[in-house]
Amino acid sequence: MAKRLQVILKDPEYREIQRMARSRHLSIAEWVRQALDLARRREPLGDVGKKLAVIRTAARHDYPSGDIDRMLAEIESGYGVGTRP
């Protein structure tokens, strides 16, 4: 279900948004939807304290890893595999 959102803007703010929307060949409504979507994706989801606790717990463990030079060499050797000239 779609909902309608009304936002009151001062004339200069409206004209600026209108100009930005036109420059991208978008309606003002579509420009606003995209701006809100971008702002929503930038907001952290969930409890920041819980995320930090999980990271701190993981950092206390000693995970196995390979030698960095060998790993980089293996990565480099894989480039171009399966491609045709």
Is 74 within a domain?
no
Is 76 within a domain?
no
**Which is more confident, 46 or 57?**
57
Is 82 within a domain?
no
pLDDT of residue 83: 62
Question: What tens digit of pLDDT does each residue of 58-79 get?
Answer: 889 888 888 999 999 989 888 8
Q: How many residues does the chain have?
A: 85
pLDDT band for position 36 (50/70/90)?
very high
| Segment of 21-30, 43-52, 76-85 carrying the highest mean pLDDT | 21-30
Domain count, the chain: 1
Residue 16 is part of which domain span? Answer: 1-62
Least confident range from 15-19, 26-30, 34-38, 80-84: namely 80-84
Sequence-ordered alpha helix ranges (H) in 24-67: 28-42, 48-59
Q: Which two tokens stand for residue 7?
A: 């936002």
